[in-house]
Structures are given as C-alpha cells and as structure tokens.
C-alpha cells in the first residue's frame, strides 16, 4: 500500500463541491426547485450551512477514495489510469446511487429528482477520480 495523497484528497473534495455548485445551480437548480417546491426543506436551510455540510461529507468520501487508491498503489495506477474512473464511478454506481434510490423509493420522491440527484453523485465521484488521477 502506498501513502495516501492528502493533497489529492482535499482537491478531490473541492472538485466534487464544484460539481455540486454547477449541478444544482445552472444545470439542474430550477428543475430541482420545481420538484421540491418553494417550501422544501432545502430552501429553509442557510446556503452556507448546506455548503459546509456538503463539503465535510465530500471530504469523508474523498478520504475513503484516497485510501482506496493508496491500497491499489501508484505503480498500478500509473499503468492502468482508467482504474481511477472505474473505481470512483463504480463506487457511485454500485453503492451511492442505489442506496439513494432505495431511500427515495421509500420516501416516494419522484423519479425525476432521483435521476437528478443520482446523476450528481456519478459526476461528483468521477470528478474526484479525475482529481486523484491528475494529482496521482
């Protein structure tokens, strides 16, 4: 196991936070607002509080991802660069998105919102994989 690249861990979280800003801003902000409505829980919270919670939790995810890439090792990742995307996208596609959709199904949240949120998690995890690859 190689050492964890802590700079990449932080940059990966920042990259995912940037993806969040774009995804829930100009790309799908209006569509999401149509789904949750003006009285939705997300509207009642301070945007700074939401950003802080999001950043902290993305840092937890990127820390786990940093340990995962360190376990694979820099030599393997240098030769098989696609593992960054396969592993980060695989985490989103096999664990994060299905658990989100199961939760949404139980809460009877719309398919449209589930697709918007699921798409975000895939893009965010791939952005984290890209950050790790570039700083590898």
- The contacts of residue 92 (CB under 8 Å, 6+ apart) are 121, 122, 124, 125, 126
pTM for the whole structure? 0.90
Q: What is the pLDDT of residues 69-103, one digit of tens each?
A: 999 999 999 999 999 999 999 999 999 999 999 99
- The contacts of residue 100 (CB under 8 Å, 6+ apart) are 114, 117, 118, 121
Task: Give the pLDDT band (50/70/90) at residue 32.
Answer: confident
Query: Is residue 89 a contact partner of residue 68, using CB atoms and an 8 Å limit?
Result: no
What DSSP character marks residue 45? Answer: S
């Amino acid at each position: 196991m190689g050492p964890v690249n802590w700079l990449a861990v932080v940059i990966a979280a920042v990259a995912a936070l940037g993806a969040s800003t774009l995804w829930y801003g100009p790309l799908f902000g209006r569509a999401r607002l149509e789904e949750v409505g003006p009285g939705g829980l997300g509207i009642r919270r301070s945007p700074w509080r939401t950003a802080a919670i999001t950043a902290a939790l993305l840092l937890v995810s990127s820390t786990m991802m940093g340990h995962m890439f360190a376990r694979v090792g820099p030599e393997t990742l240098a030769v098989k660069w696609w593992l960054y995307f396969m592993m980060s996208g695989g985490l989103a596609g096999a664990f994060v998105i299905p658990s989100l959709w199961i939760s949404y199904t139980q809460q009877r949240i719309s398919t449209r919102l589930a697709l918007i949120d699921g798409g975000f998690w895939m893009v965010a995890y791939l952005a984290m994989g890209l950050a790790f690859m570039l700083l590898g």
